[in-house]
Structure formats: C-alpha cells, structure tokens
Amino acid sequence: MSDMRTLGEFIVEKQHEYPNASGELSSLLSSIRLAAKIVNREINKAGLADITGAFGGENVQGEEQQKLDVYANEKFKAAMAARDQVCGVASEEEDEAVIFDSELSRNAKYVILMDPLDGSSNIDVNVSVGTIFSIYRRVSPIGQPATIDDFLQPGNQQVAAGYIIYGSSTMLVYTTGNGVHGFTYDPSIGAFCLSHESMTIPEDGKIYSINEGNYIRFPLGIKKYIKYCQENVPEEGRPYSSRYIGSLVSDFHRNMLKGGIFLYPSTAAYPSGKLRLLYECNPMAFIIEQAGGKASNGHQRIMDIKPTELHQRVPFFVGSTNMVEKTEAFLAEFPDED
C-alpha cells in the first residue's frame, strides 16, 4: 500500500512537468475533483429520489428538488467560480457562455467547457453516467472579461481534458497532454486513488458501439462498416461484439480499456450527428489520442475542426486507431449519392 497515491498528490507530483506552471491548473483540477465528489454523492442517492421526493418534483419537506443535470451544472460552475482560476465556463446545460466578472477571475488564464452530466436519462434506470470537461488557455487579454473567442478554439489547443464516470465505481480520468491517468474513488476515505496510470487503448478492438436503431438513415459507408464488423472475425477467432450503453462516457471508457470503436454518425434526427464538438467530442478526442487512439468526424481529425458555435454537433468516430481508420476508409470508398 506504500505506493498508493491520491489524485491530489499525483497532480502536485506532475506539476514539475510544466516548467511555466504556476499551480493554477493544478488548483483548477482540484476544483473539478471537489465538484465530482459532490455530484457523485447525489447520483448515488438517485434511487432514493422516489422515496424522498423525485428530482424535478418535491421532497418530503416540500422543497423542490433539482434535476441532477441541473444540480451537476450548478455544482461544477460554483466550484469553478470559487477559486478564480477560470474566467468563464461554457456548458451543455447553458445557452450562452457564463463569464465570471470578479477582478480576480478577469485575471484568470483559463476557460472550461463541460458537459456536467452526460447521458443523464440513464440515471432513472441505474446506468452509469458521466461528466466531461475540457480546459483551454484564454486567447483574449488577461485583465478583461473572457470573450466568445476563448471558447471557440479548436481541440488541438486544449490544455487538459477529462471525464468522471459515475459507475459501479466512480472514476476520474484525465490528461494534461502527458498521457492519460485514471483514479478510482474510495468513498471510505473520500479520495480518488491512482488505479490506472498511463492508460493506453489497444490499436485494434473487437467491440463496435453504435445505436443501430438508426441504421436505415446512416451514411452508406457506416452501413458497410457495420456489415464488415458482422461478417468478419477478428484474429482472436470470436466475432465482433456490438455493445451500446447509450451513455457516452461509459461506452468510451469500456472501449478505452478493452479496445473498440464508438460511432455516432449523422442520422435522420441529427443530420450533423448528435454529439457536441466542444463539450463531448474534443475532450474525448484529446484523451483518446493521448492513450494512442484516434478521433475523427469521418474525414478529419476532430481536434483540428475550428468551431463556429458553442453547441455545434459533429459526427463522431472514436477509439482504437485501426478501427477508426477502417471506418474512414469505408466512408471514403462508399460516399453517399446526393
């Protein structure tokens, strides 16, 4: 047990990897860690909501209960606002970016973009959900309020990104551009403990994750890729497995550990794909690349897309390098005819 390290210790230990670091990023990651613990506590109680008062309804004291995604948004925002390392937050839960305007936060270097509770509809059925975050250095002058340009940066400018998975265990996984590290929450001591140092995704995998209910309206190349997975047997002799939880962080996390691909192409309901470039795709792309995998919109590296709006959606293919490249090859070989 002597080499057991907590997230807090690990962050301090790694700070020397950034010669110009002033400790602000470390402190920012600590704010995320704190909000994650608070949200984790509430999610764990979600099953009790029917007994103590449903979220969105009233509890036994007659107080109105917040829905958990709104609650998570508030907690993460409050954690960011409290420590003055960020000058603004953009969230999937908010129409506009939230600009912090205290004197200290005007001098802050970072902005954060987040999906505070992704896949929140899964909570009702006791399936894992997640928080996703992405941190950028601002491009507007320090000393002034943040501007929209601070948020509309391509993913290749990310300073850090990560996710928290509220699953059978709660884990926090993050990168600052020097590999990917995972920490499992130990509720008995209230700490995230290093459990997965230097995570890597296998180059190839046997799992494909896609909502096949949308098959009829998928691009031709994606239909062909799915057929390829169904008809071929990977080297190990067992067919590809289809695994789709419908909770991005959970599908991503499983594929990261086992090897696989997650696909969300354009569909009838979502002609540009469903997932959001800034809150979901860019952070996951940074993490997967740092773990040795790949993230693409089918034709282009996700992190090279220049965002034009906060809530922009993109088709998203992420996971084991060889599987993502195969998908790109099918899309190039079988373009749609219109």
Site string for ligand AHM, 9-48 (x = CB under 6 A): ----------------------------------------
Binders of ligand AHM among 58-97, rule CB under 6 A?
92
319 class by beta-carbon count within 10 Å (0-12 exposed, 13-18 middle, 19+ buried): buried
Q: Binding partner of residue 158 among Mg ion, ligand AHM, none, CB under 5 to 8 Å per kind? A: none
Q: Binding partner of residue 42 among ligand AHM, Mg ion, none, CB under 5 to 8 Å per kind? A: none
- Are 79 and 37 within 8 A, CB to CB? no
- Are 165 and 185 within 8 A, CB to CB? no
DSSP 58: B
Q: Given the complex with ligand AHM, which of 1 and 268 has the nearer CB atom?
A: 268
Q: Given the complex with Mg ion, which of 280 and 328 has the nearer CB atom?
A: 280
Q: Binding partner of residue 56 among Mg ion, ligand AHM, none, CB under 5 to 8 Å per kind? A: none
Q: What is the CA radius of gyration of the chain?
A: 20
Rounded Cα gap, residues 152 and 146, in angstroms: 12
Binders of Mg ion among 83-142, rule CB under 5 A?
115, 118
Q: Apex CA 153: angle with CA 15 and CA 132, to 5°?
A: 60
Binders of ligand AHM among 127-166, rule CB under 6 A?
none
How many residues at the interface with ligand AHM, by CB under 6 A?
10
Q: How many residues are present in the chain?
A: 338
- Are 130 and 119 within 8 A, CB to CB? yes
The contact set with Mg ion (CB under 5 A) reads 115, 118
Residues annotated as binding site for substrate? 118-121, 211, 244, 274
Residues annotated as binding site? 92, 115, 117-121, 211, 244, 274, 280
